[in-house]
């Protein structure tokens, strides 16, 4: 470096270019011991100065930029010189990596430089404590503090933290983001829609589908739900930019995780990878809890952004892909798929209902119900709840589709009040639309049957029968068919209903 200063004083361009090649070679040795020396306060600026003399590019004055244009501001006074040195070193190493030698560095060297930056960014732990302590301030002062932290670039630090290999650092970064969301969600939303903030949304989606060995994906789910909440912002306008970015760039990525995590034999060729979505790494190892959280986020999207979700469900076959979870062995994932369909039907959208019928999408649900057999568990209840919703909401197209396509499979389960009522409701809808209709007055016998079935259904669902949650109880209370209420004539309503159906 002393020779560099002499060559620069004498304008010895040939010598300066030689020193550039030497310094670049030293950095490419990728030695942590060398990095510790050359990135210290004594040599760092001279190292950067020597790298200004790249013979392949016109000279760029990096030192002038770092000294005159990069302004260091302290949100709070930092009196420890070691901490200050680390802060300056972190910025300069990042500048060297991303700007000065961006074309020259290999992957191994970049990884080592990143480790230096992430190590220095352990200051995130301090920021976390600092934000936590701010809770003791008054609300106005808290808001002012958080806005000052944003102006000082705290979200840029958190972007680095979320990319760290240290899970504790990632956890701390998500904790700080949740603190900001609890203070005012618009603080984070307004950052994510900026060009420099867009990658943060991608990191949050990536975090949600990454196994950190803990339940951190739940925190990512919470952050994403808050960002995608479509409540109006201050001033009465909706911030739809985040929603647009999410649906255009990231929704397909979540769906691909579901497809890739299901048995390969269950995936039709037509359900390939979603267009434009990034490649999912190690999809087969995706934790079931992550898949369950994806379903929960999809249900949230259906309820809050019905139009955008509808377009994706129809154009990209997302409904079909979510139902692939019915081929997973984990029962709660199959339940999650059924609940997703139940949420979709709650929109009462004719196009989605026609899509379900046209593509026979209730078949895997009926197959799961039949395979589950007589077991009283969460899957049994979820599917019966789906059928009951279709009946009570009188979704006639679905009623006809179920009875025409699957009743030969469901008839063996007519002891369930919901299955009986489903058939009765279908027959009523057929009678009311047939040529012998007598207006809005329905057959009183059918009304009696239906009321009796609803009472029987209540009795059934009041049974404590989930085999997984009450294993100990099942030893003393063996599984049995739910008791049938008996009418005054001594005949059960189910027998009355069956006899009535056969008469028709």
3-state SS, 89-114, equals: HHHHHHHHHHHHCCCCCCHHHHHHHH
The answer to whether position 279 is within a domain reads: no
Structural domain contains residue 470:
no
Q: With contact defined as beta carbons under 8 Å apart, do 117 and 94 qualify?
A: yes
Task: Report pLDDT for 442.
Answer: 42
Q: So what's the pLDDT on residue 429? A: 77
Residue 239 pLDDT level (bands cut at 50, 70, 90): low
Confidence (pLDDT) at 75: 59
In the prediction, which pLDDT does 338 show?
Answer: 95
At 486, the pLDDT band (50, 70, 90 cuts) reads: very low
3-state SS, 373-419, equals CCCCCHHHHHHHHHHHHHHHCCCHHHHHHHHHHHHHHHHHHCCCHHH
Within a domain: residue 376? yes
**CA–CA separation, 343 vs 227, rounded Å?**
21
Q: Which residue has the higher pLDDT, 328 or 482?
A: 328
Instruction: Give the end of a domain, one of 89, 120, 151.
Output: 120
Query: Could you tell me what percent of the chain has a pLDDT over 70?
Result: 75
What is the C-alpha separation between 170 and 124, in angstroms, rounded? 10
Q: Tell whether 302 is covered by a domain.
A: no
CA distance 19 to 108: 23
Looking at beta carbons, which pairs linking 275-280 to residues 24 or more positions away fall under 8 Å? 275/316, 276/248, 276/249, 276/252, 277/249, 277/250, 277/252, 277/253, 278/253, 280/209, 280/253, 280/256
Instruction: Indicate whether 131 belongs to any domain.
Output: no
The residue among 104 and 330 whose pLDDT is bigger is 330
Please, which pLDDT band fits residue 258 given cuts at 50, 70 and 90? very high
pLDDT one-digit tens code per residue, 411-448: 888 888 888 888 888 888 776 655 443 334 344 444 44
- Please state the domain count of the chain: 2
Structural domain range at position 417? 362-431+446-465+491-504
pLDDT at 137 over 80: yes
Domain boundary among 102, 120, 138: 120
* Residue 54 placed within a domain: yes
Lowest mean pLDDT segment, chosen from 35-49, 136-150, 381-395, 455-469: 455-469
Full-model pTM: 0.62
Last residue of a domain, one of 120, 141, 169: 120
Q: Could you tell me if residue 286 is inside a domain? A: no
Range with lowest mean pLDDT among 107-121, 172-186, 250-264, 377-391: 107-121
Cα–Cα distance measured from residue 414 to residue 412, given in angstroms and rounded to the nearest whole number? 6
Most confident range (mean pLDDT) of 78-82, 165-169, 444-448 is 165-169
In three-state form (DSSP H/G/I as H, E/B as E, the rest C), the secondary structure along 489-504 is CCCCHHHHHHHHHHHC
d(CA 248, CA 21): 44
Sorting pLDDT into bands at 50, 70 and 90, what band is 285?
Answer: low
Q: Identify the CA nearest to 30 among candidates 86, 97, 119.
A: 97
Does 125 map to a domain?
Answer: no
Q: Which of 130-139, 280-289, 386-395 has the lowest mean pLDDT?
A: 280-289
The predicted pLDDT at position 493 comes to 43
């Amino acid at each position: 470096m002393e020779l560099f200063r002499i060559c620069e004083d004498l304008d010895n361009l040939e010598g300066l270019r030689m020193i550039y090649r030497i310094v670049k070679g030293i950095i490419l040795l990728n030695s942590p011991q060398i990095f510790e020396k050359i990135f210290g306060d004594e040599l760092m600026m001279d190292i950067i100065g020597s790298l200004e003399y790249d013979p392949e590019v016109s000279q760029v004055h990096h030192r002038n930029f770092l000294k005159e244009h990069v302004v260091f501001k302290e949100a709070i006074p930092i009196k420890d010189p070691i901490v200050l040195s680390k802060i300056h070193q972190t910025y300069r190493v990042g500048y060297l990596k991303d700007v000065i030698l961006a074309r020259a560095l290999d992957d191994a060297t970049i990884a080592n430089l990143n480790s230096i930056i992430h190590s220095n960014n352990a200051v995130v732990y301090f920021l976390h404590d600092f934000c936590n302590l701010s809770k003791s301030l008054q609300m106005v002062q808290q808001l002012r503090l958080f806005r000052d932290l944003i102006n000082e670039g705290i979200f840029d630090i958190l972007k680095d933290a979320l990319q760290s290999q240290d899970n504790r650092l990632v956890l701390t970064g998500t904790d700080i983001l949740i603190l900001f969301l609890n203070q005012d969600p618009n603080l984070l939303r307004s950052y994510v829609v900026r060009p420099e903030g867009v990658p943060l949304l991608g990191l949050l989606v990536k975090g949600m589908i990454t196994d950190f060995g803990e339940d951190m994906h739940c925190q990512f789910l919470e952050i994403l739900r808050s960002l995608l909440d479509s409540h109006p912002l201050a001033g009465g306008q909706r911030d739809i930019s985040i929603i647009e970015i999410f649906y255009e760039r990231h929704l397909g990525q979540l769906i691909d995780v579901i497809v890739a995590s299901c048995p390969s034999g269950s995936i039709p060729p037509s359900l390939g990878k979603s267009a434009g979505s990034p490649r999912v790494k190690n999809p087969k190892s995706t934790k079931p809890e992550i898949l369950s959280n994806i379903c929960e986020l999809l249900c949230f999207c259906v309820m809050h952004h019905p139009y955008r979700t509808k377009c994706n469900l129809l154009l990209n076959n997302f409904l079909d892909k979510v139902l692939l979870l019915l081929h997973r062995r984990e029962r709660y994932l199959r339940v999650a798929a059924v609940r997703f369909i139940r949420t979709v039907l709650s929109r009462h959208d004719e196009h989605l209902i026609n899509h379900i019928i046209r593509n026979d999408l209730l078949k895997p649900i009926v197959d799961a119900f039949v395979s589950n057999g007589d077991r009283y568990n969460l899957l049994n209840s979820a599917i019966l709840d789906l059928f009951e919703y279709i009946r009570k909401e009188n979704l006639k197209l679905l009623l006809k589709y179920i009875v025409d396509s699957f009743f030969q499979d469901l008839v063996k389960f007519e002891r369930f009040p919901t299955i009986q009522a489903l058939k009765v409701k279908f027959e009523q809808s057929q009678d009311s639309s047939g040529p012998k209709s007598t207006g809005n007055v329905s057959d009183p016998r059918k009304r009696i049957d239906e009321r009796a079935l609803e009472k029987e259904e209540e009795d059934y669902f009041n049974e404590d029968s989930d085999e997984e949650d009450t294993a100990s109880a099942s030893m003393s209370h063996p599984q049995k068919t739910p008791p049938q209420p008996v009418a005054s004539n001594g005949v059960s309503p189910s027998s009355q209903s069956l006899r009535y159906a056969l008469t028709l």
